[in-house]
Structure 1
Amino acid sequence: MTHDLKESFSADSPPAPAALAAKVRTLAPSMTRSMQRVAEAVAGDPAGCAALTVTGLAELTGTSEATVVRTARLLGYPGYRDLRLALAGLAAHQQSGRAPSVTADIAVDDPIADVVAKLAYDEQQTLADTAAGLDTVQLGAAVAAAATARRIDIYGVGASSLVGQDLAQKLARIGLIAHSHTDPHLAVTNAVQLRSGDVAIAITHSGSTVDVMEPLRVAFDRGATTIAITGRPDGPVTQYADHVLTTSTARESELRPAAMSSRTSQLLVVDCLFIGVAQRTYETAAPALAASYEALAHRHAPRPR
């Protein structure tokens, strides 16, 4: 990718059946209501929808054939026929037990044991969805840029700021200059200092957080390599990103909004990015990590009396 503003998200190749449900969850919030009805239908009953013609699915969802085709293309398939094949594959996965059906939302009166079971399932599914949908070409390019960066600035607010701090701490422990900025004013004033050879990383589940987008835009304009970690691959933040790393999110509920559940997938992407950088800089990263472990060990050692 270049610094040219990019078009809306589209996959280079159709997603695998196992990744279809994750794609629906990721893109549904940015769809029109009629397209959402189609997406929800295919994700909720892949076997039933796989048996329908384009006309049948349009009638089932109260939409038009054109809407069904547009939804299929937005999900990454050349046409409805390709989507039907993916639905048949997803149905086969579910019937074999490799893709369990979605559990119910957490209710206010759920026993704590049920809460634990539901959260564990959602977390597991979120990680699997994120891994299935993560573009490893984009990840590799982001790793290459970060591994050779003079300086790395990370932007995030709210729950995403915690993920940004985690990444900055990891990178610092292998000897890289990395800073996490949570104050939007300081983020912008620091972004002004960036240039070619630097890296700026924006973490925003919604893809439209202004306090995160603005410093990334400034970094983009200054010539830094920019990376967006977002749950909305067609969100406005991506127009200022050279590389986009897409996250998935556990199902949102009244007790667990998207901003909270997004941390799981963001942390997975951050860990993948960090490990990739550590691999590329192993000769310097390994001694730096060893030195940090030793320093902490001395700090926790019992003091002489």
Structure 2
Amino acid sequence: MLDRIKACLPSLAPAEQRVAKLVLNDPRSFAKQPISELADRAHVSKPTVVRFCRSVGYDGLSDFKLKLAGSVSEGVPFIHRSVDADDKTSDIMVKVIDNTVAAFLKYRNDASTVAIEKAAITLVQAYEQGKRIEFFGVGNSGIVAQDAQHKFFRLGINTVAYSDGHMQVMGATLLGPGDCVVIISNSGRTRDLMDACDIARKNGATTIVITASGSPLAAAGHLHLAADHPEGFDRYSPMVSRLLHLMIIDILATCVALRIGGERLQPLLREMKNNLRSKRYT
């Protein structure tokens, strides 16, 4: 939300820019104070405060303050904070955790529930029709694909995950109408994944892509689940995108499980848990 305000700042009228700077300097206070006090602090009129809210894409002051309060709750940072070589352990811990939480909350505010619902319905239909469901990813995204396969396998859904480009091409070649492939990529520009996506589409399979908006892969899939995050690519920080992708997979798996229904899944999950008891020390 604050990134949007920064991006809009040059196009705002001078009086509205003063309101914008007031928000950016102290968003928590802005979310709590009445319009009269906000107008006084920004040296503008009350209608200008409302106009500012509408200029940056919100219905009015109430809508703006509600979204702002959600964005800045619990001490979440507003931008990605790079880890520096001389950071103390306490600094590193705070930055890594804050960057992750910020990305999660940004996704919560930006995500398209319509796209997620369509993806979940598509996966359930493929499962109920006995069609193939596969997960493709390379590098870090390959690990996410394996995690997705594990989560869906627990639900009794027969799936596979491929992180090798040759296996992805062969797997995509064997897909057909009604089958579904979920392709995961941070950049959305990996050649192997693009090739596999094209092959799967040509064979009639439904392609669900979890990747960055505006990327070639985002345009190539049938259903795009946007995974956008404001992190910088410094030398030290782990990629928040991996955790973001894992969360999206968790959301998908939960939606699919609820649509399959507890009556079918609960006995299976209980039996699985009982059978795994022997693998643990008492």
TM-score between both structures, scaled by the size of structure 1: 0.69
What number of residue pairs does the alignment pair up? 239
Q: Tell me what 1:110 maps to.
A: 87
Q: Aligned-pair distance for 1:240?
A: 2.6
Instruction: List aligned pairs for 1:109-258, cutoff 5 A.
Output: 109-149=86-126, 150-230=131-211, 232-249=212-229, 251-256=231-236
Distance 1:235 1:179 in 2: 25
Structure 1 unmatched ranges of 5 or more:
1-17, 25-38, 55-79
1:84 corresponds in structure 2 to: 56
Question: Are residues 210 and 184 of structure 1, via their aligned partners in 2, closer, same or farther at CA, if it must alter by over 3 Å?
Answer: same
Q: Which amino acid aligns with 2:97?
A: A
Residues 104, 237 of structure 1: alpha-carbon distance in 2 compared, 3 angstrom cutoff: closer
Computed over aligned residues only, the root mean square deviation of the Cα atoms, in angstroms, reads: 3.3
How far does residue 81 in structure 1 lie from its aligned partner after superposition?
A: 9.6
1: CA distance between counterparts of 2:68 and 2:270?
Answer: 44
Q: CA deviation at 1:224?
A: 1.0
Seq. identity, %:
25
Counterpart Cα distance in 2 of 1:239 and 1:136: 18
Stretch moving more, 97-106 or 182-191: 97-106
**Cα distance, 1:50 vs. partner?**
4.3
Equivalent residues in 2 for 1:279-294, closer than 5 Å: 279-282=258-261, 283-294=263-274
Q: CA deviation at 1:295?
A: 2.1
Is 2:72 the partner of 1:93? Answer: no
CA contact (8 A) 1:156 1:202 kept: yes
Gap change, CA 1:85 and 1:146, over 3 Å in 2: closer
Give the superposition deviation at 1:191.
1.1
SS in 2 for 1:180: strand
- Distance in 1 separating the partners of 2:72 and 2:179: 46
Which residue, 255, 260, 265 being the options, matches 2:244?
A: 265
Structure having greater relative contact order (Cα 8 Å, sep ≥ 6): 1
- Distance (whole Å) between structure 2 residues aligned to residue 287 and residue 298 of structure 1: 18
2:161 aligned counterpart, secondary structure: strand
Deviation per CA, 1:156-189, whole angstroms, max 9, x where unpaired? 0111111111110010111101111011101111
Q: State the shift of 1:248 in Å.
A: 2.8
Q: How far 1:292 sits from its partner (Å)?
A: 2.2
Q: CA deviation at 1:83?
A: 4.7
Render the CA deviation track for 1:234-279: whole Å, top value 9, x for unaligned: 2111233111101133522423468x22112111110000000000
CA distance in 1, matches of 2:209, 2:85: 35
Could you tell me how far apart the structure 1 residues matched to 2:277 and 2:179 are?
A: 33
Shift of 1:102: 3.4
In structure 2, the CA distance between the partners of 1:301 and 1:246, relative to structure 1 (3 Å rule), is: same
Among 272, 278, 281, the residue aligned to 1:298: 278
TM-score (normalizing by structure 2): 0.74
Structure 2 residue 7 is matched with structure 1 residue 42: yes
C-alpha distance in structure 1 between counterparts of 2:141 and 2:225, whole Å: 14
Larger Rg, first or second structure (1 or 2): 2
Moved over 6 A (4+): none
Which amino acid is the alignment partner of residue 262 of structure 1?
S
Read off the aligned partner of 2:133 and give its amino acid letter.
I
